[in-house]
Structure 1
């Protein structure tokens, strides 16, 4: 009898745990109210894409990055983060080999975009470089210790500069 009660208790806990870890429950806990599409966020899948920003997005209004754990930056010796008022807007990384390019990601219109830099490795990412993708380029330039400017350029050649924190490690 005690064994069967233990079994029922474990089964009930298992059922509760499954419902608490549903995509809807997770979305509510993190405050998005949206269900996460697990097909794009599965381990090993690059959640950032090399594509044009969505038509509904404004390249001059980059959004908070959010979860970038599945973005593939390739081999890297270090990385840098650009943020404004604690809101991460760009993460970049580069390999040790200066003959290889760095990569960065930004979120525009709800989509993570993967951007490429010219060869220069991590040193170029840290010292300032331009990351380019379809319909957008982002120039990062350190201005003082821990500070920097992100200059966004769209396909029409219009630019917007944003000052913030640029921290590399």
Structure 2
């Protein structure tokens, strides 16, 4: 009987460890829920999007020949790391999110923001001041351009983009922080 038990235990363990591989629909469902790069959700089903725009931000220069004063709608920013944060803010103009920013609780640390230009998400840095500085309005600096956000009233603000040649474009919109 004891020999039978010794043989049965390894067989039982092997059988328990044989889980079925996740099906393609499970993977698609997961990708749709987390906004994985290269997917969009249509009717609850994840669909691969050819030539999808970037969903992660980097400290990079905008692609060549990109007019940074013509920021694009942010879209999926699920892969953007704005670092530790006590809160965040969003600037929207004409119903389109154009900048998302956040800052840590520690005022000695900088805030961060992201914008989309030339189909790429670009990470911007603010001077030290933490979330309080971000919320009060600040300048976010990127490679070859800067973005100044200034609150103008309750949940309103102005965003001014300045490129390396000094050209500027200002947008009035909503500056909402939480």
The TM-score normalised by the length of structure 1 is: 0.78
Counterpart of 1:7 in structure 2 is none
**What secondary structure, in the 3-state scheme, does the structure 1 residue paired with 2:81 have?**
coil
Aligned mate of 2:156, from 147, 152, 167? 147
Number of residue pairs matched by the alignment: 150
Whether 2:43 is the aligned partner of 1:34: answer no
Q: In 1, distance between residues paired with 2:47 and 2:175?
A: 27
Q: In 2, distance between residues paired with 1:55 and 1:73?
A: 25
Root-mean-square deviation over aligned CA pairs: 2.9
Give yes or no for contact 1:90–1:104 (8 Å, CA) kept in 2. Answer: yes
**What secondary structure, in the 3-state scheme, does the structure 2 residue paired with 1:55 have?**
coil
Aligned mate of 2:101, from 92, 109, 124? 92
Aligned mate of 1:75, from 80, 84, 96? 84
Query: Structure 1: which 4+ aligned runs deviate by more than 2 Å?
Result: 17-23, 25-37
- Structure 2, unaligned runs of 5 or more: 1-19
Q: In 2, distance between residues paired with 1:168 and 1:110?
A: 25
Q: In 1, distance between residues paired with 2:175 and 2:138?
A: 12
1:65-93 per-residue CA deviation (whole Å, 9 max, x = no partner) reads: 11111111111100000001221000000
**What secondary structure, in the 3-state scheme, does the structure 2 residue paired with 1:167 have?**
strand
1:44-72 per-residue CA deviation (whole Å, 9 max, x = no partner) reads: xxx10111111142211111111111111
Q: In 1, distance between residues paired with 2:99 and 2:138?
A: 13
Whether 2:178 is the aligned partner of 1:166: answer no
Whether 2:73 is the aligned partner of 1:64: answer yes
Q: In 2, distance between residues paired with 1:19 and 1:100?
A: 38
The TM-score normalised by the length of structure 2 is: 0.74
Deviation at 1:108, TM superposition (A): 0.1
Counterpart of 2:117 in structure 1 is 108
- Structure 1, unaligned runs of 5 or more: 1-10, 42-46
